[in-house]
């Protein structure tokens, strides 16, 4: 028998990062598949990997290159393929490069006047490969968010014609895509205070080609609309992921029916029709560029992923409009690509880490010829060690129902102490417009295999449950999210599945804010862990980057008109409410939540005498990418809980105790 929290487990922090690779985008061209891998053991850089036919996979980029863009700070869409050429943005200088075959990378964009002043993302290639249409985010010297300009620019791959702006004016643009016959260009645009999940516009323009490249004529909005009212009133239409079909029609995802479903624009009739209507989410919030949740198969078929009750599924729309489910053993899908009857995607399940998977799909919907192109790690673990998520729903404030994924403590080699209930970790995802991911994550199993219960809460405002659910957080950040996280913990305690005296809360970024707010304003939780969390909402509103510089208008209220709410809901201004232990983990190069936010709250708790631990990480931005820092963050948090709750750390792991002041 062993006390919950002290269970010995092979899922150590070293295993969490060993040979780990975060699989990102996928590209499929004929028998060649290219994908990206974020590698913590290589300093957190992103490598591109190519596999052709049955040949072994090969790395495409030299070891000093990192395919990562800083556009919107969150990035995504940092690379794309045209024939034999791969275009990618290098993290160091943010310039766009081209790689053909085994040749070294060649810069496509000029060196900016300001280091990293021109950032590129989300491009496509047209007219035989000469012209590259791409999003540029321009940062003038010493600029603040108001001076940053986002545009669609055309680049000449031969270098003969200087870069030229095609679309400018909106605060943000994305997804420039040229129709198969080259006659039209589509793109998405939106402006403050909207975020892309509030309201975007899908635009189409006629394209005329000349020696200087494309010029646009008759630009028009064919779908989407800005969110209505100051700060957003929930009446907008969020459109994403435009894709041209071979017949010249334009498909896209829209939430005009409350759910992010599939639609089609016919240039002949200039009409929009719904092609897939399900009470589930096909789309995702556009935090990053380049997400792909549907793709075209041969014979007028479309393959797509959708999320229902927190779990992903894969399906196919037939040419006659019927939808059939595809029998594949995964609960999470990303980066779906297709060619002919072949589908390639990143898939994961409750017991399998993400893998790059290839399948063949018959016209009947039968799935054949499954091949794992990039397998998950061989962890060498008994699958009985893995806690499998349960989709739960529970009552919350104002008669609402909230949702979560619950992971019970699981370890076949340990018997719990008689009569003891496990401590609970309430996970708060970032965003806050994001969602819990229904897939094997060793960072979660690290806790459940030690005897912690974990609940990953999809509080009101999360995606995956329709626009109305997403809009529950309108002007209610710091209220609805707290209510739902408390409700999840209390409901599980009432069900006698967790120890009501050992309820903990942890989260990163926006989840870190909810963690801090829960400790400042509520008394449900016995301890908390804030990973690069927001302590001062006013500072966030005035110091953050362009993409999120007006985000809080919709989450709280317009600043400075509603400065009272910013002060009222900022944990830093309510130190008197803190009386529970807290650990704070922070990257020192974070541009989204600057380190001073963490340091302010830590200093305040020190002065008040509240138990507090602070771990800062050199060289880390918003989220930890380096293996040594990921390990340190996990082990430091575990040692913090061990000291707070008085259980013994497993022998043999040699976990250093994090200093906890005032304990």
Residue 232 has pLDDT above 80, yes or no: no
Task: Please give the Cα distance from 660 to 583 (Å, whole number).
Answer: 8
Can you spell out the DSSP letters for 448-473?
A: HTTT-EEEEEE-TT-SSS-HHHHGGG
- Give the domain 381-645 fold: Rossmann fold (3.40.50)
Of the candidates 462, 467, 464, 433, the residue with the CA atom closest to the CA atom of residue 258: 467
Strand runs (DSSP E) across 475-596, as ranges? Answer: 503-508, 527-531, 582-587
**d(C-alpha 258, C-alpha 552), whole Å:** 22
Q: For the chain, where do the domains classified as CATH 3.40.50.1820 start and end?
A: 381-645
What pLDDT, on a 0 to 100 scale, did the predictor assign at position 228? 63
Under 8 Å between Cβ of 214 and 155: no
Over residues 126-155, the mean pLDDT reads: 92
In this predicted structure, the answer to whether residue 520 has a pLDDT above a threshold of 90 is: yes
Question: What's the pLDDT score for residue 221?
Answer: 98
Q: What is the pLDDT of residues 95-124, one digit of tens each?
A: 999 999 889 999 999 999 999 999 999 999
Q: What's the pLDDT at 231?
A: 46
Percent with pLDDT over 90 in the chain: 88
Q: Tell me the average pLDDT across 406-431.
A: 95
Quote the strand ranges of 267-329, DSSP E: 271-276, 294-296, 302-308, 311-317, 323-325
Q: Provide the 10 A C-beta neighbour count for residue 156.
A: 17
Whether the per-residue pLDDT at 139 is higher than 90: the answer is yes
Q: What is the pTM of this model?
A: 0.94
In the structure, what pLDDT confidence band is assigned to residue 229 with cuts at 50, 70 and 90?
low
Predicted confidence at residue 621, as pLDDT, reads 87
Residues 145 and 546 sit within 8 Å (Cβ to Cβ): yes
Backbone angle region of 112, left / alpha / beta, with phi > 0 → left and psi within -120 to 50 → alpha: beta
Question: HEC string of 262-276?
Answer: EEEEECCCCEEEEEE
Tell which residue, 117, 122, 116, 120, has the closest CA to residue 108.
120
At 205, list the tokens.
């323009």
**Average pLDDT for 301-313:** 96
Q: Quick check: 626 pLDDT over 80?
A: yes
Rg, Å, the chain Cα set: 24
For residues 201 and 206, give the distance between their C-alpha atoms in angstroms, rounded to a whole number: 17
Give the model confidence (pLDDT) of 441-466 as tens digits: 999 999 999 999 999 999 999 999 99
The average pLDDT across 389-397 equals 97
Residue 478 has pLDDT above 70, yes or no: yes
Q: How many other CB atoms are there within 10 angstroms of residue 168's CB atom? A: 12
Q: Which residue is listed with tokens 């402006």? A: 191
CA distance 587 to 594: 8
Q: What is the tens place of the pLDDT at every residue in 556-614?
A: 999 999 999 999 999 999 999 999 999 999 999 987 788 988 898 899 899 999 999 99
The two three-digit tokens of residue 91, written as one number: 């993290």
Q: How far is CA 454 from CA 407, 418, 451, in A?
A: 5, 20, 10
The two three-digit tokens of residue 531, written as one number = 């990973």
pLDDT digits (tens, 9 = 90+) for 44-80: 899 999 999 999 999 999 999 999 999 999 999 999 9
Report pLDDT digits (tens) over 524-547. Answer: 999 999 999 989 999 889 988 999
């Amino acid at each position: 028998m062993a006390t919950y929290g002290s269970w010995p487990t092979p899922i150590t922090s070293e295993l969490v990062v060993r040979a780990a690779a975060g699989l990102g985008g996928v590209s499929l061209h004929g028998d060649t598949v290219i994908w990206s891998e974020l590698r913590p053991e290589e300093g957190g850089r992103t490598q591109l990997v190519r596999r052709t036919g049955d040949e072994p996979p090969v790395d495409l980029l030299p070891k000093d290159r990192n395919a990562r863009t800083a556009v919107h700070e969150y990035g995504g869409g940092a690379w794309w393929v045209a024939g034999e050429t791969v275009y990618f943005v290098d993290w160091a200088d943010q310039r766009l490069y081209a790689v053909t075959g085994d040749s070294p990378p060649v810069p496509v964009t000029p060196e900016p006047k300001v280091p990293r002043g021109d950032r590129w993302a989300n491009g496509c290639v047209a007219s035989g490969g000469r012209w590259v249409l791409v999003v540029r985010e321009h940062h003038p010297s010493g600029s603040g968010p108001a001076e940053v300009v986002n545009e669609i620019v055309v680049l000449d791959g031969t270098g003969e014609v200087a870069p030229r702006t095609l679309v400018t004016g909106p605060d943000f643009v994305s997804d420039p895509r040229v129709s198969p016959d080259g006659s039209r260009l589509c793109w998405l645009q939106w402006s403050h205070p909207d975020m892309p999940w509030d309201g975007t516009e899908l635009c189409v323009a006629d394209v005329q080609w000349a020696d200087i490249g494309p010029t646009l004529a008759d630009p028009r909005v064919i779908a989407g609309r800005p969110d209505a009212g100051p700060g957003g009133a929930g009446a907008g239409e969020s459109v994403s992921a435009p894709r041209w079909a071979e017949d010249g029609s334009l498909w896209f995802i829209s939430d005009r029916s409350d759910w992010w479903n599939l639609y089609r624009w016919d240039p002949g009739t200039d009409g929009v029709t719904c092609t897939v209507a399900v009470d589930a989410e096909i789309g995702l919030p556009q935090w990053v560029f380049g997400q792909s949740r549907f793709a075209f198969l041969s014979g007028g078929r479309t393959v797509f992923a959708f999320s229902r009750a927190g779990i992903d599924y894969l399906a196919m729309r037939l040419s006659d409009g019927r939808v059939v489910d595809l029998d594949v053993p995964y609960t999470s899908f990303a980066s779906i690509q297709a060619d002919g009857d072949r589908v390639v995607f990143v898939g994961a399940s409750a017991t399998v880490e993400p893998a790059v998977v290839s399948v063949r799909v018959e016209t009947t919907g039968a799935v054949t010829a499954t091949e794992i192109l990039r397998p998950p790690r061989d962890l060498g673990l008994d699958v009985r060690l893995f806690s499998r998520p349960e989709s739960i729903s529970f009552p919350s404030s104002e008669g609402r129902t909230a949702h979560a994924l619950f992971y019970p403590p699981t370890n076949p080699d340990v018997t719990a102490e008689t009569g003891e209930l496990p401590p609970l970790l309430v996970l708060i995802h970032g965003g806050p417009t994001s969602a819990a991911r229904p897939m094997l994550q060793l960072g979660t199993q690290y806790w459940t295999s030690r005897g912690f219960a974990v609940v990953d809460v999809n509080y009101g405002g999360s995606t995956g449950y329709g626009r109305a659910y997403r809009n529950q957080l309108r002007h209610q950040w710091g209220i609805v999210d707290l209510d739902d996280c408390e409700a999840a913990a209390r409901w599980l305690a009432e069900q006698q599945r967790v120890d009501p005296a050992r309820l903990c809360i942890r989260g990163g970024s926006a989840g870190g804010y909810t963690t801090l707010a829960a400790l400042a304003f509520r008394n449900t939780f016995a301890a908390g862990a804030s990973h690069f969390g927001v302590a001062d909402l006013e500072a966030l509103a005035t110091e953050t980057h362009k993409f999120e510089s007006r985000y809080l208008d919709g989450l709280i209220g317009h600043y400075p008109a509603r400065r009272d709410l910013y002060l009222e809901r900022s944990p830093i201004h309510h130190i008197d409410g803190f009386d529970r232990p807290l650990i704070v983990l922070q990257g020192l190069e974070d541009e989204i939540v600057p380190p001073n936010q963490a340091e302010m709250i830590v200093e305040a708790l020190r002065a008040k005498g509240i138990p507090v631990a602070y771990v800062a990480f050199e060289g880390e931005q918003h989220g930890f990418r380096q293996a040594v820092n990921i390990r340190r963050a996990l082990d430091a948090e575990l040692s913090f809980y061990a000291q707070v709750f008085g259980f013994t750390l497993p022998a043999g792991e040699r976990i250093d105790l994090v200093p906890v002041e005032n304990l």
